[in-house]
């Protein structure tokens, strides 16, 4: 990268806001904000973004200190740097929810987008509704007029709009959940129904919740990101983000109040996003989770190091092929080419993506990434071993064994529950398989699943992971 960054090809001040985004992290800045920036440059419109961080102040202060602008460094495959100007300003829940609700209830807000991570919603995937035991959901059901969490904010903002006769915004979930729009719709309607049934009916009838598949590998920004952005722009940029060159956004086209020209930023509009979501969640994210657990315990700090480990790299390829074999037809997609591309993206030497970061929140990730494709493979009579391997690596991580790894934190919203289950005696596999809502019972009970899972987990709990990987790869 020798030239300075590419500047916005439009006058940001000439465009009003039309989107409130919840979850102002690196991923949003690298993905939806970048795509909206391209849309503004190509076709204009009042579609700038008010970015909300529900808890943190630092990210918001950094952005507001520079008029919402930030440097996006795109690395590898022709990497470059761009100044993104689509975010008008940031708001933080640390200052109270009043200004956030005001932004969400203003008539000009026509879309609310979300990247808050899987665990922040408080979804009950078994019922398809909300989880009333989730701390934020519980607090917001007790006091719906003063929400603190994601569902509570959406319900309250929609309630205020309804009372004021303002048309509802479209809710666009951009988290890595299967049928994310449908899941969020179910949770929002359920949360509303528990306090205001008429509002629930109105939301069910009037609010659009298109699903979307999002993809761009975006590690957490570090001091090096900021130093590089400063070198490129000639001024400090504590809001800079780095990401890969690749990006993909597949969206269901259901935006009653309009939307930006996101096609200009490469987005694809389809009538049903499910097959694309399955492909991405099972292949990219499934392989990511598998390699994060196996790689972390084999001493690999970054994903790129995993791909230079011949044994683990073969296992990643085995996983991608097994996951790809569970998918239905995908018009316009060549799964072999997608697999090759994923291997190259994981290997990108310019992206420092920590295995430990991906290993977080396994209880929220494993169902759609590993167990759903394992069930599909079982139904099709395919080999379950690649999925059982990934499950064993997750269980080994949860068990906290330190024979091959220095002590580490288990970062998971259900960590305490899992520790209690493990402390109650019995085998690690049995204890973790019995956690509600994680391993589908039909899979857990199948000997064709249990036998390889138990065998590989036993090996991972007693032998260095590097040795287990070597043996497993040699048997492919």
Residues of the shown chain interacting with ligand CS2 in the complex, contacts defined by CB under 6 A: 176, 215-217, 284-285, 288, 357-358, 365
Spatial separation of the C-alpha atoms in residues 367 and 177, rounded to whole Å: 10
DSSP 305-351: HHHTSHHHHHHHHHHHHHHHTT----TT--HHHHHHHHHHHHH-TT-
- Strand ranges of the sheet holding 80-84, from the earlier edge strand across to the other edge: 80-84, 70-75, 241-244
Nearer Cβ to ligand CS2 (207/251) = 251
Nearer Cβ to ligand CS2 (357/450) = 357
Which of 316, 269, 345, 260 minimizes the C-alpha distance to 473?
316
Spatial separation of the C-alpha atoms in residues 229 and 476, rounded to whole Å: 44
Write down the least CB distance from residue 92 to ligand CS2, Å.
23
Write down the least CB distance from residue 363 to ligand CS2, Å.
12
Helix 385-399 to helix 372-379 angle, to the nearest 10 degrees? 150
- Per-residue tokens: 466: 């590097």
Which of 437, 303, 439 minimizes the C-alpha distance to 358?
303
- Per-residue tokens: 429: 């596999």
Write down the least CB distance from residue 214 to ligand CS2, Å.
6
Nearer Cβ to ligand CS2 (215/277) = 215
Write down the least CB distance from residue 30 to ligand CS2, Å.
9
Write down the least CB distance from residue 42 to ligand CS2, Å.
23
Write down the least CB distance from residue 120 to ligand CS2, Å.
14
Nearer Cβ to ligand CS2 (72/217) = 217
Spatial separation of the C-alpha atoms in residues 237 and 225, rounded to whole Å: 9
- Per-residue tokens: 144: 């719906």
Spatial separation of the C-alpha atoms in residues 95 and 104, rounded to whole Å: 16
Q: Measured at CB, which residue is nearest to ligand CS2?
A: 288
Nearer Cβ to ligand CS2 (66/357) = 357
Write down the least CB distance from residue 431 to ligand CS2, Å.
24
Spatial separation of the C-alpha atoms in residues 314 and 292, rounded to whole Å: 14
Nearer Cβ to ligand CS2 (87/284) = 284
């Amino acid at each position: 990268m020798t030239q300075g960054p590419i500047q916005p090809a439009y006058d940001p001040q000439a465009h009003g806001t039309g989107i409130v985004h919840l979850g102002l992290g690196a991923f949003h800045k690298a993905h939806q904000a970048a795509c909206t920036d391209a849309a503004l440059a190509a076709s204009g419109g009042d579609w700038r973004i008010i970015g909300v961080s529900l808890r943190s102040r630092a990210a918001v202060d950094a952005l507001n200190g520079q008029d919402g602008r930030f440097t996006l460094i795109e690395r590898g495959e022709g990497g470059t740097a761009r100044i993104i100007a689509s975010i008008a300003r940031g708001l933080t829940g640390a200052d109270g929810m009043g200004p956030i609700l005001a932004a969400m209830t203003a008539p000009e807000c026509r879309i609310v987008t979300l990247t808050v991570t899987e665990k922040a919603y408080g979804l009950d995937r078994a019922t398809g509704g909300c989880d009333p035991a989730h701390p934020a959901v519980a607090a917001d059901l007790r006091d719906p007029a003063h929400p603190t969490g994601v569902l509570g904010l959406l319900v309250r903002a929609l309630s205020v709009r309804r009372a004021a006769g303002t048309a509802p915004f479209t809710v666009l979930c951009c988290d890595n959940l299967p049928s994310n729009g449908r899941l969020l719709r179910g949770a929002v309607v359920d949360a509303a129904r528990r306090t205001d049934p008429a509002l629930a009916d109105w939301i069910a009838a009037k609010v659009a919740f298109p699903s979307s598949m999002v993809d761009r590998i975006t590690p957490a920004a570090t001091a090096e990101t900021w130093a590089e952005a400063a070198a490129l722009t000639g001024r400090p940029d504590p809001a800079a983000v780095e990401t890969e060159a690749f990006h993909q956004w597949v969206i269901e086209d259901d935006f009653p109040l309009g939307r930006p020209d996101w096609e200009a930023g490469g987005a694809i509009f389809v009538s049903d996003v499910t097959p694309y979501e399955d492909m991405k969640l099972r292949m990219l994210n499934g392989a990511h989770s598998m390699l994060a657990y196996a790689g972390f315990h084999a001493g690999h700090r970054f994903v790129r190091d995993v791909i230079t480990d011949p044994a683990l790299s073969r296992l990643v390829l085995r996983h991608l092929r097994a996951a790809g074999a569970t998918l239905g037809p995908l018009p316009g997609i060549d799964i072999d080419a997608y697999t090759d591309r994923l291997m190259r993206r994981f290997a990108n030497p310019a992206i420092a993506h920590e295995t430990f970061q991906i290993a977080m929140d396994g209880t929220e990730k494993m169902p759609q990434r590993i167990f759903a494709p394992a069930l599909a493979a079982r139904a099709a009579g395919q080999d379950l071993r690649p999925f059982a391997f990934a499950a064993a690596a997750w269980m080994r991580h949860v068990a906290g064994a330190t024979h091959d790894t220095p002590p580490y934190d288990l970062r998971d919203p259900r960590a305490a529950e899992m520790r209690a289950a493990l402390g109650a005696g019995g085998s690690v596999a049995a204890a973790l398989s019995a956690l509600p809502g994680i391993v589908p019972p039909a899979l857990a009970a199948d000997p064709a699943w249990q036998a390889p899972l138990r065998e590989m987990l036993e090996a991972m709990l007693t032998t260095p992971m590097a040795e287990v990987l070597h043996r497993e790869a040699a048997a492919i």
